[in-house]
Amino acid sequence: MSSRAGTLGPVGLVVAGLLCQELGASFAIMLFPTVGALGMVTLRLVFSALVLMVVFRPRLAGYSRSDWMIVVAFGLTVGGMNMMFYTALDRLPLGTTVTIEVLGPLVLSVVVSRRASAWLWAVLAFAGVALLSQGGAGALDPVGVAFAAGTGVFWAAYILLSARTGARFPKLDGIAIAMVVGAVMSLPFGLLTAGSALFEPRVLLLGLAVALLSSTVPYAFELLALRRIPEATFSILMSLAPAIAALAGLVILGQSLTWIEAAAIALVIAASVGAVRSAARRRAPGPVSPAEPLA
């Protein structure tokens, strides 16, 4: 009984972090009419970079050329992932976008497990996405689906480069530097599409809120939770992201789901949990789950 009660705290932290993340995404969507998807990306990455640089004050000297190549590649991945994600959100419901993008890290976890049976989970996930496209709310925007799938590819690359960056840079220096690279990458696109609207006080305030809700607060919660629960348990909880995204879309944005769409999301979540458990049993090196990225 006591051990069960002891897990309620970290479980609550993980769920709260996911809720904050999807709340941040919902606020971002509300800003689309003013600054567009790419303008929102710029606001999020610039504010996230500023917060991380101020809080962690990363050391910039003493790294090799290969170290910088890794962290720059990581930063470009962060920028590309966010641009893909928000462009997809401009065309698809929040829950649908997150469900499709989960395929990237899910397939990565299946590959890492090196078990032929693990591919059954990937097949189940793809079946869920196929069912999602027949959800009854009209055909999904194919361009939006392509951007959501592209986000999944970037997400898988994010996991791999995050591990390599963490091995070369102490503490959270690597992600702080990478966020600056991503912010610089996104800045021309944001200025080109949003222009002076990016500098309106209301927009800046909401942009800061999105950065804090989508990056800073969830990551702090996740770090606290990981000190108290196993990584496999944490990863299974993170697999709930599509359901929480769908709930946020329903409550905040009024994006309703049909029963078929709900069943499709449930299939993807089941596949994610199955892939996590399969990889954890084998104890394969590297990522075992589609953990939600900081960016």
Give mean pLDDT, residues 247-259. Answer: 83
Nearest to 58 by CA among 161, 175, 158: 175
Q: Is the dihedral of CA 209, 213, 216, 217 positive or negative?
A: positive
**CA atoms of 44 and 279, how far apart (whole Å):** 33
pLDDT at 243: 85
For 145, counting Cβ atoms within 10 Å of its Cβ (0-12 exposed, 13-18 middle, 19+ buried), the class is buried
Pick the range with the lowest mean pLDDT from 115-119, 138-142, 284-288, 289-293: 284-288
* Residue of higher predicted confidence among 252 and 57: 57
pLDDT in tens, 94-148: 888 888 888 887 777 777 766 766 778 778 888 887 777 665 445 678 899 999 9
pLDDT at 280: 61
**Quick one: pLDDT band at residue 292, thresholds 50, 70, 90?**
low
**CA atoms of 175 and 168, how far apart (whole Å):** 11
Nearest to 79 by CA among 4, 178, 208, 212: 178
**CA atoms of 72 and 83, how far apart (whole Å):** 16
Token pair listed for 90: 């401009």
Token pair listed for 228: 């108290």
Nearest to 288 by CA among 70, 151, 112: 112
Exposed e or buried b per residue across 256-289, where buried means at least 16 C-beta atoms within 10 angstroms of its C-beta? ebeeebeebbebbbebbbbbbbbbbeeebeebbb
* Residue of higher predicted confidence among 222 and 34: 34
In angstroms, the first-to-last Cα distance of the chain is 37
Q: What is the mean pLDDT of the chain?
A: 82
pLDDT in tens, 140-193: 788 999 999 999 999 888 888 888 898 899 888 998 999 999 999 999 999 999
Helix and strand totals (H; E) in the chain? 12, 0
Nearest to 125 by CA among 261, 292, 286, 265: 265
pLDDT at 286: 43
pLDDT at 17: 86
Backbone angles phi, psi at 139, to 5 degrees: -65, 140
Is the pLDDT reported for residue 85 higher than 60?
yes
> Which position has the token pair 């029963």?
259
Asked whether the beta carbons of 202 and 47 are under 8 A apart, the reply is no
Q: What is the DSSP letter of 106?
A: H
Question: Cα dist. 9→83, 126, 181, 225 in Å?
Answer: 34, 33, 35, 8
Asked whether the beta carbons of 278 and 117 are under 8 A apart, the reply is yes
**CA atoms of 156 and 240, how far apart (whole Å):** 17
How remote is the C-alpha of 129 from its chain's centroid?
Answer: 18
Residues near 171 by beta carbon (within 8 Å), at least 6 away in sequence: 56, 58
CB atoms closer than 10 angstroms to residue 57? 11
- State which amino acid sits at residue 199: F
- State which amino acid sits at residue 109: S
pLDDT at 291: 44
